[in-house]
């Protein structure tokens, strides 16, 4: 059964590596001549999500530019009913900056799989130096980490679009989430939908998810929380091991335990 909720407030986090046809890091960097084209595609998928949210009855939509310098979405090409958060605040909220308990749902667009995933386009976790992030023994892609941040504020992530690999990882982490694969990695190559098809499917997918909000739950683990960070660079691990209460657990791993999830977020912010 679908419902049209009134006064729906929706948060949309938009990354770039999982946007249709983005298949190389050069295409995601403002230093590259191809970048203006791909930021336009990113803005198009953000708009599709906004349109889906509005069609489901959203009266407030906040978009978080969550890639690179966080200055990718083209402001005057973004749907005028949305507000846009640009740049990094420097807070533990990171890719979810701006979320709070007032939102009914969060949507993640342009997301990608975690580091070391086979057949995943532009896979990585946060920054290139991170091998893995584990919370309460679950290895998390950025989507999972960001969903725990949303969950801390009791907001469910209801929809994700990106490559097929992140959709598979999403289904392993969430009890219920709607996923849309706009592309599929073939080693380093990638099979893509047409960008217009992706936009149509994102719009209807976001609308559908928001019209069935009751089936989604905020992602939350039970305390005590145990976060493990693994870095490719031992020096990063050494530095993180000096965080108050942190423990070195292996050559490349450091862990921290607490009953307060915000303290997990703070540890991550300071150490990554």
Residues that are catalytic: 124
Q: Which is nearer to Zn ion, 22 or 254 (CB)?
A: 22
Of 207, 264, 210, 23, which Cα lies nearest the Cα of 120?
Answer: 23
Contact criterion met (CB below 8 Å) for 172 and 138: no
The dihedrals phi and psi of 123, each to the nearest 5 degrees, come to -65, 140
Beta strands in the chain (DSSP E): 8-14, 58-65, 82-85, 105-111, 130-135, 138-139, 157-163, 178-186, 189-192, 225-231, 247-248, 253-258
Say whether residue 45 binds Zn ion (CB under 5 A).
Answer: no
CA 61 distance to own-chain centroid: 16
Say whether residue 114 binds Zn ion (CB under 5 A).
Answer: no
The single residue among 23, 58, 64, 67 that binds Zn ion, judged by CB under 5 A, is 67
Three-class SS string for 218-243? Answer: CCCCCCCEEEEEEECCHHHHHHHCCC
Q: Which is nearer to Zn ion, 42 or 53 (CB)?
A: 42
Place of tokens 């089936």: 215
215's tokens: 């089936």
- Judged by CB under 5 A, the stretch of 13-21, 69-77, 203-211, 215-223 that binds Zn ion is 13-21
The single residue among 15, 45, 65, 228 that binds Zn ion, judged by CB under 5 A, is 15
Q: Which is nearer to Zn ion, 68 or 218 (CB)?
A: 68
What is the secondary structure of 90-135 as a DSSP string?
SSTTGGGTT--TT-SEEEEEEE-PPTT-TT-TT--SSSTTEEEEEE
Min dist CB 34 to Zn ion, Å, is 16
- Judged by CB under 5 A, the stretch of 16-24, 83-91, 189-197, 218-226 that binds Zn ion is 16-24
Say whether residue 183 binds Zn ion (CB under 5 A).
Answer: no
Say whether residue 39 binds Zn ion (CB under 5 A).
Answer: no
Say whether residue 27 binds Zn ion (CB under 5 A).
Answer: no
Say whether residue 97 binds Zn ion (CB under 5 A).
Answer: no
Q: Which is nearer to Zn ion, 18 or 151 (CB)?
A: 18
- Judged by CB under 5 A, the stretch of 10-18, 80-88, 91-99, 253-261 that binds Zn ion is 10-18
- Judged by CB under 5 A, the stretch of 11-19, 113-121, 179-187, 234-242 that binds Zn ion is 11-19
Q: Which is nearer to Zn ion, 16 or 147 (CB)?
A: 16
DSSP code at position 28: G
- Residues of this chain that interact with Zn ion (CB under 5 A) are 15-17, 67
């Amino acid at each position: 059964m679908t419902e049209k909720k009134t006064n729906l407030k929706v948060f949309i986090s938009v990354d770039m590596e999982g946007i249709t046809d983005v298949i190389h890091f050069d295409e995601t960097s403002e230093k590259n001549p191809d970048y203006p084209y791909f930021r336009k595609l990113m803005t198009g998928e953000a708009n599709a999500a906004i349109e889906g949210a509005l069609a489901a009855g959203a009266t407030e939509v906040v978009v978080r530019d969550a890639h690179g310098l966080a200055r990718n979405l083209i402001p005057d090409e973004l749907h005028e009913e949305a507000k846009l958060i640009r740049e990094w605040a420097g807070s533990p909220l990171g890719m979810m900056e701006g979320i709070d308990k007032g939102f009914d749902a969060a949507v993640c667009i342009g997301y990608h799989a975690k580091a070391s995933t086979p057949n995943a386009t532009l896979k990585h976790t946060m920054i290139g130096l991170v091998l893995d992030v584990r919370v309460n023994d679950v290895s998390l892609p950025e989507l999972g980490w960001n969903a725990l941040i949303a969950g801390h504020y009791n907001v469910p992530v209801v929809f994700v679009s990106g490559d097929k690999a992140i959709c598979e990882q999403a289904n392993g982490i969430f009890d219920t989430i709607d996923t849309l694969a706009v592309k599929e990695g073939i080693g380093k190559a990638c099979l893509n939908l047409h960008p217009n098809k992706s936009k149509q499917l994102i719009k209807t997918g976001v609308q559908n998810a928001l019209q069935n909000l009751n089936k989604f739950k905020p992602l939350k683990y039970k305390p005590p929380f145990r976060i493990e960070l693994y870095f490719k660079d031992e020096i990063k691990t050494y530095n993180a091991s000096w965080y108050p209460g942190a423990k070195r657990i292996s050559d490349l791993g450091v862990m921290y335990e607490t009953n307060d999830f915000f303290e997990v977020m703070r540890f991550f912010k300071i150490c990554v």
